[in-house]
Amino acid sequence: MKKYLLITAGSITLALGVAGIFLPVLPTTPFLLLSAWCYLRSSIRLYNWLINHRVLGLYIYSYLTYRAITLKAKVTMILTLWLVMGSTIIFFIDPLWLRILLAVIGCGVTVHLVTIKTLTAEMKEEIRQEPDREAL
């Protein structure tokens, strides 16, 4: 029963993580990492599929291995965050306190993203040279 609950939780968090790529208010990394954790404890096959995935694999594996993300991912996240937050603050929210709260949250997320290590070309090359990433 535990195995199936973890697979279900992993699949739900994977869907939320993928949605977070397109919805800036929804965090991507925590959901993808939680998905990897759930799969690791329930299905090595699903875990290996996830970390070897053509799109998500490098992102997840580089974060798990180096605690780093690509510069492109950082820039994209920060730009998307401020486009959505800025338009929301300017056009859709009236109370001043709520505008300030959103701006403070946006600043906090930006600081967090900037302080995460940037994945270097050497790190990427090490990851790409591994034929198949196995369970950590």
Encode pLDDT of 22-44 as tens digits. Answer: 886 778 888 999 999 999 999 99
In the structure encoding, which two tokens stand for residue 37, read together?
A: 């954790």
**Residue 25, pLDDT score:** 72
The model scores a pTM over 0.85: no
Q: Specify whether the CB–CB gap between 7 and 38 falls below 8 A.
A: yes
Return the higher-pLDDT residue of 125 and 50.
50
Return the higher-pLDDT residue of 136 and 17.
17
**Residue 136, pLDDT score:** 52
Q: Alpha-carbon distance 18 to 22, whole Å?
A: 7
Q: For 54-111, what is each residue's pLDDT tens digit? A: 888 888 888 888 889 889 888 988 998 899 899 999 999 999 999 999 999 999 989 9
Q: Is 11 helix (H, G, I), strand (E, B) or coil?
A: helix
CB neighbour list of residue 82: distance below 8 Å, 6 or more residues apart: 106, 110
Is the per-residue pLDDT at 135 higher than 60?
A: no
